[in-house]
Structures are given as structure tokens and as C-alpha cells.
Amino acid sequence: MKTEFMTAITQLSAERNLPQGVILEALEAALVAVYKKDAMAHDEDISVKIDPNTADIKVYVRKLVVDTVTNPHREISLGDAQKLQQDGAQIGELLEIETAVKNAGRIAAQTAKQVILQRLREAERHAVYDQFVGKEGEIVTGTIQSIQPKRIYVDLGRTEAVLPLTEQVSSEYYRIGKQFKFYLLQIGQGVRGPQIVISRSHPNLIRRLFELEIPEIHSGVVELKAIAREARQRSKVAVSTNQEGVDPIGCCLGPRGIRLQNIINELGGEKIDLIQWNADPKIFISNALSPSQVVSIELNEAENTATVVVPSKQLSLAIGKQGQNARLAARLTGWRIDIKSVSAAEAETARLAKIAVDELEKDELPADISIPSQPEPTQVVEPAQVVSEEIEEVEDITALLARDEFRLSAEAPSVKSEEEPLIRFAEDILPGKAKKKALPKKKSAKSAKGKAKTRGHRKRKISLEDDGQEE
């Protein structure tokens, strides 16, 4: 009997992963329920004890020692107590009186089974809670068990955890049976056992993976100063060391970059930038904006703002795709970063210098001298207007000359020289050649230009002949 009983206790303890003492307590509670239901009064205070060495089961009834008994199921008189106890009993003492019970029936045995299972489940829940309650912030390995629209249930071995939609990575593919590493975000005690919330998008998941993969970080030689992460897209990790001769970035990379590559594979191909941490904010911000170069940095500690000037060709590289590089750099350093190109910074400097000069000039003017008003804008004259005005002037002068000539001719008539020969053209000399009025024809610009040259040559020739005749 003893051997079979203890063998069953040992086997049940191994299956449930519970100590033997917990199994014995569950059996004792089940026997108490059985004896109350079947063999004894319901209002009696019963306790059962099982000897692990002999496997003997003893049942006790606990009663209070009083002068006058009002409830015989829970109280005992002083005289009866002194008879049962050789050392002598006192009023107010609680006695445990061993009693014999009958064998339980079928219904009592079924009740015992249910009580045992319930007590074992409660013991398992408490054991799981005790196992995980001190491990918040740690990393665990789990298998996808079931998938729902707003949550995923993950099997952690002894219990299951919940992966909410907010802690999932949108670009990751979850399927039943696939294993992942998760970050223990929160552990609580619920009605049905411990409630464990895990995460795949938390930045500290990268910290735990670095500690797991890189021995220098686990031992404290290399320290992770800051982490900025956008899950499954890109992350920036700032590392440093206090030990001389140790390259923190080289330790994180490992031989041929195998250490960092293992972490990237675990995160599904997420890009990770390793940044050298520095106590000087300017150097740290400059490193955080890599791979872009930095020309100058101005810090405003009152507003916690940094104005960074980068080359004009690297402005888009410093900002990153949809501002990702600048956003991660700001999270990593804790500064609000304003990025400008060199040309924009020079234009802003020139504008501020001009404003400062104007204010300085206004301040240097005497109080009794007023600033002259701005001159009226000069009227812009079009070229066509100038040409028309010149033509009107020529016409006026011509008219004046015509009037003067008429007046002079009236006062002194001109005498025509008979010696001056008259020049006649061939059209006037040849008979029968009537002058016909030619219709206007469209002429090309080239032919018109040629005729104009010919006419000018003819006029010049005629003027030369006139000069010859006059001589």
C-alpha cells in the first residue's frame, strides 16, 4: 500500500511539475470534503493528515474547550477534554480529537476527484505565477498557439501568454506552430490564472537580444546607452565602453558581422545602426545622424533644440525616408533636431544680418531728423511711346519749317536757275508708256531687301550725276 501510494504521488508530481507536498495537501483537502459530505456532520471542523512515510490517513475533529457546551459538534466540556488529554486541558484551548470514519461511497469518491483536480490546477497557477512574477522585462521563447483578430495566444510551455495587436509587428507573418522570441511586458494574477502580456515591438527586445548574443554586453564591458526603434523597419543603438582598447561597435558586430546578423535575422531583417555614444551632445548628435555628414551644430539648451547644418546634397540623406533618420536620431539623443542645408543656413544668416544692420542704422539716427519718405516710383516708359513722341516732334518741326518757307517765299520769291538742267526718267520720255498703278503684291523679305539696295544704289548714282552736271 505504501509503495503504490507513494509511487502514484511521485508520478503525479512529475506530470504536474509540482512538489510532493503540494500533492499531499490537495489529497488532504479532498478527503476533508469527502468525510464532511458522506460520513460526518457538515458543521464539524475536520482535518485530515496523511503520513508520507507510512501512507496512513488520520482524521481529526477540532473542538473548543468550554465550561458549558452549546454546540456539541464544535465544543467540548472541560472534564471530557481532561479525560482525552493526559496533560490536562484548559478552557479556551483547541483540541484535535482523532476519530474513525467509514469507507466513502461512490459519490464521495467522485467529489474527492473533483476537489483534487481543482486544487492541483490552483497549485499550478500559483507555481506559474511565482515562476514569472520576477521576470518582467526578460526575454522568453514561445510558439504560436492560436490566432484571433485582436490577439495571438502563445504557448510558453507551462502556460500561455497573450500578444495584443498593439504589440505586434505589422510586417511580420505569424502562423500556428512558428517560434519567436518575445519580451515579457506585464504579468498579472487573473481569475483563471496568471495573465502574461508579451511584445514583439518593444525597444527593450533589442536590448535583451544584444545581451543574449554579445558576451561583452552581458558582462558589462560594453554598455547600451540608448535605443530608438521603429519595429521591423530600422533601429539605432548607441553603445559605449569604459575599458581602454575595446571597440564597442566591433564587439557588437562580431567576426564578419555574425553577431549583429543573428539579431537582425531574429527581428525579421530589421536594419540596425550602431552609433558611438559620446558625452558631448554635438558629437553624439553628429554620430546619430549617420550616414550623413554634419557641417555645424548649434545647441539651445533652454529649449533642448539642436540646429544642424548639413551639405545641400546630403539633406535628403540626413532627413531619411519620410523623416525616419531624423526622427530616430531625435529619440536616440533626446534633443529636438532641426536640419538645414548649407544654402538655407547662409540665406538665413544674410537675412538676419540685414535686419540687424537696418535696426542699427535706425538707432544711430538723431532724434530731430526724420527719416525721408520713400521716393515715388519712376514711371516706366515703353519704347513705342518714346518713338511716337519723337515722331510727333519731327512733325511739329516740319510744320514750322513749312510755315516759315511759305512766309519767305511770299516776301522774296525764289529765282529759278535756267542753267540747271531738268532730269527726266525714261518713263516720261518714251511715248505711249502710260503710268499704271501697280497692284500691291506680297514680296518676300529677301526680295524686298534686294530691291531696297538697288534703289539706294540708283539714287546714289543719280546724285553723283547731278554733282557732275553742276560742275
**C-beta atoms surrounding 366 within 10 Å:** 6
Higher pLDDT, 458 or 93: 93
> Counting Cβ atoms within 10 Å, is residue 283 exposed (0-12), middle (13-18) or buried (19+)?
middle
For 65, the 3-state DSSP assignment is: strand
Q: Which CATH number fits domain 203-277: 3.10.20.600, 3.40.718.10, 3.30.300.20, 3.20.20.70?
A: 3.30.300.20
Q: Looking at domain 136-199, what is its CATH homologous superfamily?
A: Nucleic acid-binding proteins (2.40.50.140)
Please state the pTM of the whole predicted model: 0.61
Distance from C-alpha of 240 to C-alpha of 222, rounded to nearest angstrom: 6
- Residues 241 and 216: their CA atoms lie apart, in Å, by 10
What pLDDT sits at residue 378?
Answer: 39
Q: Which of 100-109, 114-123, 250-259, 439-448 has the lowest mean pLDDT?
A: 439-448
All three cell numbers of 208, joined, read 535583451
**What H or E segment, with its residue span, contains residue 213?**
helix 204-213
Tens digits of residue pLDDT in 353-406: 878 787 777 766 454 444 444 444 434 434 444 444 444 554 454 454 444 443
Distance CA 330, CA 324 (A): 10
- Residues of CATH 3.30.300.20 domain(s) within the chain? 203-277, 280-361
CATH topology of domain 2-128: N Utilization Substance Protein A; Chain:P; domain 4 (3.30.1480)
Mean confidence (pLDDT) of the chain: 77
Give the gyration radius of the chain's Cα atoms.
55
pLDDT for the residue numbered 426: 46
Query: How many CB atoms sit inside 10 A of residue 14's CB?
Result: 10
Q: Report CA torsion sign: 121, 127, 129, 131.
A: negative
In CATH, the number for domain 280-361 is 3.30.300.20
pLDDT digits (tens, 9 = 90+) for 108-159: 677 777 888 888 888 888 888 888 888 888 999 999 999 998 999 999 987 8
Predicted confidence (pLDDT) at residue 440 exceeds the cutoff of 60 = no
Q: How many CA atoms does the CB half-sphere of 44 hold within 13 Å?
A: 25
% of the chain residues with pLDDT over 90: 34
Residues 6 or more apart whose CB falls under 8 angstroms from that of 218 comprise 211, 212
Q: Where in the chain is the domain with CATH 3.30.1480.10?
A: 2-128
Whole-number percent of the chain with pLDDT over 70: 72
Q: How many residues does the chain have?
A: 471
CA distance 386 to 86: 143
Look at residue 221 in the predicted model and tell me its pLDDT: 92
- Grid coordinates representing 437 are 498703278
User: What pLDDT, on the 0 to 100 scale, is given for residue 399?
Assistant: 52
Domain with CATH 2.40.50.140 in the chain: 136-199
